[in-house]
Amino acid sequence: MIDFQPLYKQLATTRLHPWKGPLQKQLNTVFADKPHGKQVEWEAVLSELPALKSQYSDFTSDRITVGTKQEISKKEHRQLHQSLKKLQPWRKGPFELFGIVIDTEWHSDWKWNRIKDHIAPLKDKLVLDIGCGNGYHLWRMLGEQTKLTIGVDPSRLFLTQFALTKQLMSEQPPVHLLPLKDEDLPDFNNQGFDTVFSMGVLYHRKSPFEHLQRLKNFLRPDGELVIETLVVEGDKQTVLVPEERYAKMRNVWFLPSVEALKLWLKRLGFVDIKLIHINQTSVEEQRKTEWMDYESLADFLDPNDANLTIEGLPAPLRACLSCRKAS
Ligand SMILES: C[S@@+](CC[C@H](N)C(=O)[O-])C[C@H]1O[C@@H](n2cnc3c(N)ncnc32)[C@H](O)[C@@H]1O
């Protein structure tokens, strides 16, 4: 069970303090619900972890690093390696924990490097990352010296990977992962976050406008939204709705063009809408590794044409946009 008391204490010192009560209630409800089938197994990994703590961490380099190999014995190294292996698949990263390099399915560092210099500085800011996976980008945000960084993702495996990383630190930094869906988060009264990220989530939503509106509700006036999603080529009325699967995924609903997404954001009242980057995902950026040995991008593409998915649709093209909530 994760202890959220440090989060509640930190919230109390910020303008987000009215959020504390409703959030506490929401989290209690989630943990009272029927646990995930592997919950007990994952919690055991955390409780059986050797008592390793390090003062050394680096969140500013591509690999999230905690501890060094020199700080632990061979036996502890082996035990930690076993614990980490039990939490496979590791999709987002890379990480280096006490010298153990976790080469994840995604080069999440590439995504971060494409956007980090094109958004408002995060120093001393209150930051929310919706659909944060195992928290790789939360650590990178912390590396920019945020005041408080909160991630939201319903996956209990990702929560466990995040909790394990944090458990290895001797000091607990102001970064938290909430095992919730964005629609379960209590609302704000316009006193929200300085920056809200939603990366890789929009196309999974059946109601993209509702998702974008909710993201807006989480922001303070003038706050920045950073939205990254799958897109297609086309004009402002172009949107692809897959007949069934997209790149083998069942839960892909809307792939707008960049111009269509800009129009959606404008309709919802966002201003200063800018394209940060657009790029086709490569099999170097998303691939099978020792730490994620299921199928990956190469298996989702047409074997004869890497510009098409296995269903004959345009191959994954991703865009990242920034915009602001009008003041
Ligand atoms: C494609 S991954 C993106 C992870 C990360 N943001 C990144 O860009 O690498 C999408 C994530 O969204 C999470 N997710 C799905 N539905 C969600 C919801 N309703 N609220 C919050 N997160 C959600 C999934 O568990 C998954 O970890």
Q: Is 312 exposed, middle or buried (0-12, 13-18, 19+ CB in 10 A)?
A: exposed
Q: Whose CA is nearest to atom 2 of ligand 1?
A: 200
Q: Work out the average pLDDT over 128-148.
A: 98
Q: Identify the band that residue 58 occupies on the pLDDT scale cut at 50, 70 and 90.
A: very high
Evaluate if residue 241 carries a pLDDT over 80.
yes
CA 50 – ligand 1 centroid, Å: 30
Give Cα separations from 32 to 17, 24, 53, 102 (angstroms). 24, 12, 30, 32
Q: Work out the average pLDDT over 235-250.
A: 97
CB distance 159 to ligand 1 below 6 Å: no
Q: Whose CA is nearest to atom 14 of ligand 1?
A: 131
Evaluate if residue 187 carries a pLDDT over 90.
no
Please tell me the predicted confidence (pLDDT) of residue 1. 67
Q: Identify the band that residue 34 occupies on the pLDDT scale cut at 50, 70 and 90.
A: low
CA 137 – ligand 1 centroid, Å: 12
CA 200 – ligand 1 centroid, Å: 6
Please tell me the predicted confidence (pLDDT) of residue 316. 98
Task: Write out the two tokens for 67.
Answer: 């501890």
Give the number of C-alpha atoms closer than 13 A to the C-alpha of residue 260, restricted to the C-beta side.
17
CA 299 – ligand 1 centroid, Å: 21
CB distance 199 to ligand 1 below 6 Å: yes
Q: Whose CA is nearest to atom 27 of ligand 1?
A: 133
Overall pTM > 0.75 = yes
Evaluate if residue 214 carries a pLDDT over 90.
yes
Please tell me the predicted confidence (pLDDT) of residue 272. 98
CA-wise closest residue to 89 among 299, 318, 296, 316: 296
Q: Please, what is the average pLDDT of the chain?
A: 95
Please tell me the predicted confidence (pLDDT) of residue 36. 72
CA 132 – ligand 1 centroid, Å: 6
Q: Whose CA is nearest to atom 24 of ligand 1?
A: 131
Residue pair 147/125 in contact (Cβ under 8 Å)? The answer is yes
CB distance 201 to ligand 1 below 6 Å: yes
Please tell me the predicted confidence (pLDDT) of residue 167. 95
Q: Identify the band that residue 210 occupies on the pLDDT scale cut at 50, 70 and 90.
A: very high
CA-wise closest residue to 64 among 90, 91, 102: 102
Q: Whose CA is nearest to atom 23 of ligand 1?
A: 131
Please state the atom number of ligand 1 nearest to the C-alpha of residue 181: 20
CB distance 132 to ligand 1 below 6 Å: yes
Residue pair 4/24 in contact (Cβ under 8 Å)? The answer is yes
Please tell me the predicted confidence (pLDDT) of residue 39. 84
Please tell me the predicted confidence (pLDDT) of residue 230. 98
CA 103 – ligand 1 centroid, Å: 20
CB distance 92 to ligand 1 below 6 Å: yes
User: For the chain, which domains are there?
Assistant: 5-325 (3.40.50.150)
The share of the chain scoring above pLDDT 90, in percent, equals: 91
Q: Work out the average pLDDT over 129-133.
A: 98
CA 73 – ligand 1 centroid, Å: 36
Q: Identify the band that residue 31 occupies on the pLDDT scale cut at 50, 70 and 90.
A: confident
Residue pair 215/196 in contact (Cβ under 8 Å)? The answer is yes
